[in-house]
């Protein structure tokens, strides 16, 4: 399949596991699962998968699909921050394969690589993704990267 692919990670998840009591950790994880489920449902996103603290979302390749994943990711970011669940992520575009057993492809790798390079709570897009007309939740922004030159790219607001 060719389309837009989102990877989101919870920042500080290892510290949460180490520092929270079992009850508090269970509450935090249940909150994370519920937020993801509810926001994906409200944005009609069918292809989503949680693996530990990482969320994968895959949609089609149209401008409306990009707007759908941008709007969902914005809601995820804003809702999770209010629950002390900081997120960092990337939206990519390209080929990916989606199944119940395995999600993989070039779009997955490019999203993961940029997500890991970022130094912020936020969601960016890989180079080449243009802000479509009518997409009010993406802006051009200087991405804060851990190493190397920061670059201007589309980011979720």
**pLDDT for the residue 34:** 98
Does the pTM exceed 0.75? yes
**pLDDT for the residue 148:** 76
What is the chain's length?
Answer: 157
pLDDT digits (tens, 9 = 90+) for 71-120: 999 999 999 999 999 999 999 999 999 998 999 999 999 999 999 999 99
**pLDDT for the residue 150:** 79
Distance CA 50, CA 7 (A): 10
**pLDDT for the residue 108:** 98
**pLDDT for the residue 140:** 92
Alpha-carbon distances, residue 91 vs 19, 30, 122, 139 (angstroms): 30, 25, 11, 13
Pairing of strands 2-10, 54-58: antiparallel
**pLDDT for the residue 131:** 92
Average pLDDT over residues 53-65: 97
Percent of the chain whose pLDDT exceeds 90: 91
């Amino acid at each position: 399949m060719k389309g837009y692919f989102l990877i989101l990670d919870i920042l500080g998840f290892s510290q949460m596991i180490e520092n929270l009591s079992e009850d508090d950790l269970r509450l935090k994880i249940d909150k994370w699962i519920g937020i993801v489920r509810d926001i994906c449902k409200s944005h009609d996103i069918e292809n989503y998968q949680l693996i530990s603290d990482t969320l994968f979302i895959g949609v089609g390749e149209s401008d409306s699909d990009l707007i759908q994943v941008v709007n969902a990711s914005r809601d995820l970011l804003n809702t999770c921050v209010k629950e002390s669940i900081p997120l960092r992520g990337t939206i990519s575009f390209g080929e990916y394969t989606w199944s119940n057993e395995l999600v993989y492809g070039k779009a997955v790798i490019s999203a993961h690589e940029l997500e890991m390079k970022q130094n912020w709570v936020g969601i960016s897009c890989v180079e080449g993704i243009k802000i479509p007309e009518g997409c009010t939740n993406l802006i051009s922004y200087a991405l804060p990267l851990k190493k190397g030159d920061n670059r201007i790219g589309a980011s979720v607001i």
